[in-house]
Chains A and B, each alone.
Chain A
Amino acid sequence: MNNIKRLYVFSPSLRIWHWINFLSIMVLFATGIYIGNPFFIGSQGIEPALAHGETLTMGLVREVHFIAGYILLASFIFRILIALTSKRDRLFIPKFWTAEYWFSIFETVQEYLLLKSSKEVVPHVRNHLARTAYFFIYLAIFFMIVTGFAMYGLSDPEGFWASIFGWVVWALGGEFPTHMWHHWIAWIIILFAIVHVYMVVREDIVKRDGEISSMFSGYKFFKKEPFDAEDLK
């Protein structure tokens, strides 16, 4: 067991970003589902015109949604900045121009279809199927930020947010379709999260490589040098 390699995979900034991102998405999803299908929580003992922000109301739930949205936007910008400065944090970009990429995708699909034992596949720090999924999830989060702030900003069509993101409403054919897209993509992100958690737990149990703890400690463990270890240097 002496030949086990300990590789530093996740930078501190990335780990902090991951958990802030996780928390804000959970808050956004829970509040978003309520906003899409609200119900009367019960008399708040305060007249409607004053209830906004005072008690547990639609107004408060929306406010929490907006605050979490600002946090998501800030963390997304932070994520881009760290990718610019550190090679280690650019792992999510799929290298679809390489033959190795397509080979790894094929092999990982075989692995997940249980056609190939997890021990037989070429070890990767981050397999290319996962990299591709992350890439699309970044796009989905970006889409949610753009549509969310567009709808948020269009209460003042001449204002700051509308001037940055307002165009997306018209690109999607109006504000009602924008609401719909915002719903659909939210569910896609949640479906990703479910599969993501399962895959991480599975990876950790099958390969014993410290996959779960790596998002806290930053380290993963490999018996053989992973194919894409170069990407970390």
Chain B
Amino acid sequence: METFWEAFKRHGVSRRDFLKFATAITGLMGLAPSMVPTVVRAMETKPRVPVIWIHGLECTCCSESFIRSATPLASDVVLSMISLEYDDTLSAAAGDAVEEHRKKVMKEYWGNYILAVEGNPPLGEEGMFCIVNGKPFVEHLKESAEGAKAVIAWGSCASWGCVQAARPNPTTAVPVHKVIKDKPIIKVPGCPPIAEVMTGVIMYMVLFDRIPPLDSQGRPKMFYGNRIHDTCYRRAFFNAGQFVERFDDEGAKKGWCLYKVGCRGPTTYNQCGSMRWYNGLSYPIQSGHGCIGCAEDNFWDNGPFYERLTNIPVPKQETNADKVGAVAAAAAVGGAIVHGIATKLRNSGNKED
């Protein structure tokens, strides 16, 4: 197989530009500048890794995010860094032809290709809620994973289940790790994940020929090691106790902390606060809307998005843990008083012995 450097040369990239590129992606992957020579050597010697990218029950927002990656450009990743052998959404070919190609690639690179899964398999009705090439996606997934070196679970769908797995989960959609159990799985959650996080994960895997260091939940540590809250530029307002109470108040105009209008930054692990979106332009909190926690498990069920605490289902009432607690405490005090009076009456006839 062709190495990156060979592929770059073939495209007419100069040695100087090649080194600049290696330096840029070293920084992007969260590695120290001292790692640049290692990255350069890897790019000179490692072959380009074949990638099979399949799509299950999903909205394709991961692909939409991916193709907007600016550093490196998604086109560079697809055309130079990896050899994207199969992607039924991006490829020009379709139908049986592209399926034949997938099988051929699997056989040729058995045990060496990376399987990228976008979306998840619905298990209900024997998987009939999501069909690829006339077969349930769950079979497509199992078949494609068999010879894979590792599986990348793109987005919250593949990592956690996301919207389609929210209550009541009518199609019994499950994350990839519930179906594929014998392969290393790298979860890259987010709805969608940040483009540069996606390309960063792929580059790490192809350059170092191993999966990135993962946390206890299977997410790459370098991208999911911090809460958004802990990297948020509005954090100072949180510590100072300056909060937006309503989206049309003075605090909102001044850009204060969105904690009280339901921001999930304090409970969400992602890079939005530091890498941001659209080539570092902005992220939800910067544009004045709280984080909805899309990179977290079950984020869709942990609503409402604009409340700090979840609602407790009381008919025709908006209520949360603190309101219920206060009412219960008042009832307990009242109950104690009533019980005390009743005790007094009950024992009033008894003589002290």
B240 touches A175 (CB 8 A): no
Residues from chain B with a CB closer than 8 A to the CB of A206 are 343, 347
Nearest residue in B to A44 (C-beta to C-beta)? Answer: B240
Give a binary string over B89-110; 1 marks a CB under 8 Å from any A CB, 0 the rest.
0000000000000000000000
B227 touches A176 (CB 8 A): no
Residue of B237, B240, B293, B340 ringed by the most chain A CB atoms within 10 A: B240
User: Measured between C-beta atoms, what is the minimum distance from A198 to chain B in Å?
Assistant: 4
Nearest residue in A to B330 (C-beta to C-beta)? Answer: A194
Residues from chain B with a CB closer than 8 A to the CB of A180 are 309-310, 321
B297 touches A48 (CB 8 A): no
Residue of B226, B238, B264, B298 ringed by the most chain A CB atoms within 10 A: B238
B333 touches A114 (CB 8 A): no
Nearest residue in B to A194 (C-beta to C-beta)? Answer: B332
B324 contacts chain A at the CB level, 8 A cutoff: yes
Main SS of the interface on chain A?
A: helix
- List residues of B (243-271) whose CB comes within 8 Å of A's CBs: 243, 251, 259-260, 264, 266-269
B239 contacts chain A at the CB level, 8 A cutoff: yes
Alpha-carbon gap, A41 to B243, bound state (A) = 10
Assess A114 versus B260: contact at CB under 8 Å? Given A58-B240, A154-B227, A174-B302. no
A217 contacts chain B at the CB level, 8 A cutoff: no
A126 contacts chain B at the CB level, 8 A cutoff: no
Which residues of A line the B interface, CB within 8 A?
33, 36-41, 44, 48-49, 51-52, 57-59, 61-62, 112, 114, 117-119, 154-155, 157-158, 166-167, 170, 173-180, 183-184, 186-187, 190-191, 194-195, 198, 201-202, 206
Report the interface size class on chain B: 35 or more
**Which of A37, A40, A170 has a CB less than 8 Å from the CB of B322?**
A37
Nearest residue in A to B296 (C-beta to C-beta)? Answer: A174
Nearest residue in B to A34 (C-beta to C-beta)? Answer: B241
**Which of B221, B227, B332 has a CB less than 8 Å from the CB of A195?**
B332
Residues from chain A with a CB closer than 8 A to the CB of B329 are 187, 190-191, 194
**Which of A51, A176, A186 has a CB less than 8 Å from the CB of B296?**
A176
B240 touches A176 (CB 8 A): no
- List residues of B (77-136) whose CB comes within 8 Å of A's CBs: none
A-B contact count (CB 8 A): 133
Known: A41-B241, A51-B236, A195-B336. 15 other contacts (CB 8 A): A36-B308, A38-B243, A48-B240, A57-B240, A58-B240, A114-B342, A157-B269, A170-B217, A175-B266, A176-B267, A179-B267, A187-B324, A191-B332, A194-B332, A202-B339
Nearest residue in B to A223 (C-beta to C-beta)? Answer: B353
B260 touches A59 (CB 8 A): no
Chosen A-B contacts, 14 in total, with CB atoms closer than 8 Å, are: A38-B259, A38-B260, A39-B241, A48-B239, A155-B226, A155-B227, A157-B216, A167-B216, A170-B217, A175-B268, A179-B267, A183-B309, A190-B325, A191-B325
B242 contacts chain A at the CB level, 8 A cutoff: yes
B241 touches A58 (CB 8 A): yes
A198 touches B339 (CB 8 A): yes
Nearest residue in B to A192 (C-beta to C-beta)? Answer: B332
B34 contacts chain A at the CB level, 8 A cutoff: no
Residue of B226, B267, B299, B342 ringed by the most chain A CB atoms within 10 A: B267
Residue of B221, B251, B264, B340 ringed by the most chain A CB atoms within 10 A: B340
B139 contacts chain A at the CB level, 8 A cutoff: no
User: Measured between C-beta atoms, what is the minimum distance from B242 to chain A in Å?
Assistant: 6
Assess A48 versus B236: contact at CB under 8 Å? Given A38-B259, A155-B230, A158-B225. yes
Assess A51 versus B259: contact at CB under 8 Å? Given A36-B308, A174-B267. no
B35 contacts chain A at the CB level, 8 A cutoff: no
B316 contacts chain A at the CB level, 8 A cutoff: no
B309 touches A51 (CB 8 A): no
Nearest residue in A to B302 (C-beta to C-beta)? Answer: A176
B350 contacts chain A at the CB level, 8 A cutoff: yes
B209 contacts chain A at the CB level, 8 A cutoff: no
